[in-house]
Amino acid sequence: MTNETLIEKYFTAGLTPEEQALFNSRLTQDPEFAARFELEKDLRAVLIDKGKEDLKTQFQILEDQRYNSDSTIEKSSFLKYAVAACIIIGTTLLAVNFFKPSLSNEELFAQNFQPYSNIIAPVERGETPDDLLGKSFALYEQGNYEEAQRKFQELYDASGDRYLLFYRANALLALDRSADAIEVFKSHQETTDNFLGKSKWYLALSYLKNNDSQKAIELLKEIKQTKTYNHERVDAIVDELE
């Protein structure tokens, strides 16, 4: 199935379990697919916002024309058409914004989760790392999350570097092991490092994946209040959950 077809079905007809698995795989492993999906999502959001602005503009135009009309008969006739036009525009926006199918926790998770990028030991194309840290992150970049999370644990046991917990939890979450990911993210947050804000975002997604909506909402609202990593994406998720 092409990227375009898969993304279009995601936003319209919905995906079968097999297609959802394919979608999740491409979203996490295919940067071009992920970029195309984000662009499509942004475009749809813009269209909704544009619709809202168009409605405001139409109301203002109708209001100006009504008061500028000199004929009482024309006012009455115009008002009927104005009301009808506003009803049509308003109904269209309601259909888009209020009557669209709500997303499941799984769908919200799929829309928002992508394993955090490897910024610790980036692997150059064609390069084969020979140290354990480099090999571990190479596995992570390749999508071999099971082996990567084992290596991260091994490295953490030897060094105690906290960022390894963050990446191990990401790998576990990519493996659909949300309960395990939750425990590792919580352990990571016992001390403060440069990944703390990002860790909270991924912990919230872990709760979402684990169908614990209440804890996800609480953490997402905390992220918005403190304006930490991805705080601008919180409202869209919380609106679906509440």
Residues 153 and 234 reside in one and the same domain: yes
Residues 188 and 220 reside in one and the same domain: yes
Residues 85 and 167 reside in one and the same domain: no
Domain that holds residue 129: 106-241
30/86: higher pLDDT:
30
Residues 132 and 68 reside in one and the same domain: no
Q: With a cut of 70, say whether residue 234 has pLDDT above it.
A: yes
Residues 117 and 62 reside in one and the same domain: no
pLDDT at 36: 85
Residues 55 and 117 reside in one and the same domain: no
Q: How many domains does the chain have?
A: 2
**Per-residue confidence band for 92, with pLDDT thresholds at 50, 70 and 90:** low
3-state secondary structure the chain: CCHHHHHHHHHCCCCCHHHHHHHHHHHHHCHHHHHHHHHHHHHHHHHHHHHHHHHHHHHHHHHHHHHHCCCHHHHHHHHHHHHHHHHHHHHHHHHHHCCCCCCCHHHHHHHHCCCCCCCCCCCCCCCCCCCHHHHHHHHHHCCCHHHHHHHHHHHHHHHCCCHHHHHHHHHHHHCCCHHHHHHHHHHHCCCCCCCHHHHHHHHHHHHHHCCCHHHHHHHHHHHHHHCCCCHHHHHHHHHHHC
pLDDT digits (tens, 9 = 90+) for 207-233: 999 999 999 999 999 999 999 999 999
pLDDT at 14: 77
Answer for the pair 110, 133: CB distance below 8 angstroms, yes or no: no
Residues 133 and 229 reside in one and the same domain: yes
Q: Poorest-confidence range of 57-71, 92-106, 207-221?
A: 57-71
- Mean pLDDT across the stretch 157-171? 97
101, 122, 143 — which closes off a domain?
A: 101
115/43: higher pLDDT:
115
Residues 149 and 218 reside in one and the same domain: yes
101, 127, 162 — which closes off a domain?
A: 101
Residues 89 and 121 reside in one and the same domain: no
**What's the Cα-to-Cα distance from 197 to each of 23, 136, 185, rounded to whole Å?**
27, 23, 11
User: Residue 30 contacts by C-beta under 8 Å, 6 or more apart in sequence?
Assistant: 3
pTM of the model: 0.61
pLDDT at 42: 72
Q: With a cut of 80, say whether residue 67 has pLDDT above it.
A: no
66, 101, 136 — which closes off a domain?
A: 101
Q: With a cut of 80, say whether residue 49 has pLDDT above it.
A: no
Residues 222 and 163 reside in one and the same domain: yes
**Per-residue confidence band for 94, with pLDDT thresholds at 50, 70 and 90:** low
174/87: higher pLDDT:
174
**Alpha-carbon torsion angle 130, 133, 138, 144, nearest 10:** 120
pLDDT at 1: 86
Share of residues in the chain with pLDDT > 90 (%): 55
12/163: higher pLDDT:
163
Residues 27 and 110 reside in one and the same domain: no
CA dist 217 and 214 (Å) reads: 5
pLDDT at 177: 98
pLDDT digits (tens, 9 = 90+) for 166-213: 999 999 999 999 999 999 999 999 999 999 999 999 999 999 999 999
**Per-residue confidence band for 75, with pLDDT thresholds at 50, 70 and 90:** very low
Mean model confidence pLDDT for the chain: 84
CATH code at position 139: 1.25.40.10
Residues 140 and 23 reside in one and the same domain: no
pLDDT at 78: 47
The tokens for 85 are 């036009």
pLDDT at 81: 46
